[in-house]
Amino acid sequence: MESPEFVFVGAAACRDQKVGNCPEVATNVPGIVAFRDSERPDTVVTMSPESWAVHVAAAKAGEYDHTA
């Protein structure tokens, strides 16, 4: 089975050349959200849109803030 062709985008802040690695997300393949680190583009994590929504909500709620 061939992998789908993901089109990754990063946050606006990541478009600055001074910024090193950034998370990138692809939502162009129906039913799949793909996520990767710009410094490791060959490692892609995929999930359902529902799982992505849970992940984003947790991040917004500070669940991944290890500095708090």
Mean pLDDT of the residues in the chain: 87
Query: Token pair of 17, please?
Result: 């050349």
Q: What is the pLDDT of residues 41-64, one digit of tens each?
A: 899 999 999 999 999 999 999 998
Q: What is the pLDDT of residue 2?
A: 59
Residues for the chain: how many in total? 68
Check: CB of residue 44 under 8 Å from CB of residue 6: yes
- The domain locations on the chain are 9-60
**HEC readout, 8-53:** CEECHHHHCCCCCCCEEEECCCCCCEEEEECCEEEEEEEECHHHHH
Q: What is the pLDDT of residue 51?
A: 96
Output the pTM of the full model.
0.77
